[in-house]
Amino acid sequence: MRVLIPNPLRSYTAEAAAVSASGATLGELTLDLDRRFPGMRFRVIDEQGQVRPHIKFFVNGLQRRDLNTGLQETDEVMIVCALSGG
């Protein structure tokens, strides 16, 4: 499926803004992303398997925090880095 990569993570994707990855759940998708782009997962998912505080996942435009959220190959996943301040 198509995964939209935010600017802060594009150092892992050779600056690609969109990549292909697969997984039956959001959690599996992050594991596949890490296989393709080593190191990326730990920047967005902590060692206890939780989405980091300023990271958001959107599936077809709807925010999903549960990594057990089911996915289909036709879905579009967007990763957002949500932080403001100086």
Partner 1 sequence: MVKAASSRSGGATLLVATRKGLWQVKSDATRRSWRLAGPQFLGHVVHHCVADPRDARTMLAAARTGHLGPTIFRSADRGRSWHEAKQPPAFREGSGRVVDHTFWLTPGHASEPGVWYAGTSPQGLFRSEDAGATWRGVEGFNEHASRKAWCGGDQDGTPDGAKMHSVLIDPRDPSHMYIGMSSGGVFESTDSGADWRPLNRGVRADFLPDPDPEYGHDPHCVRLHPALPDRLYQQNHCGIYRLDRPGERWQDIGATMPKSVGSIGFPMVLHARDPDTLWVFPMDGSKVWPRVSPGGKAAVYRSVNGGKSWQRQARGLPATQAWLTVKRQAMSADAGDPVGVYFGTTSGEVWGSRDEGRTWKCLAAHLPEIYAVEVA
Cα(6)–Cα(2) distance, rounded to whole angstroms?
13
Q: Considering only the stretches 17-25, 26-34, 42-50, 65-73, report the one whose residues sit in contact with partner 1 under the rule CB under 8 A.
A: 42-50
CB atoms near residue 2 (< 10 Å): 13
Minimum CB distance to partner 1 smaller for 26 or for 34? 34
Cα(37)–Cα(14) distance, rounded to whole angstroms?
9
Q: How far is the CB of 37 from partner 1 (least distance, A)?
A: 11
Give contact residues for partner 1 (rule: CB under 8 A): 8-9, 38-39, 42-50, 52, 54-55, 81-83, 85
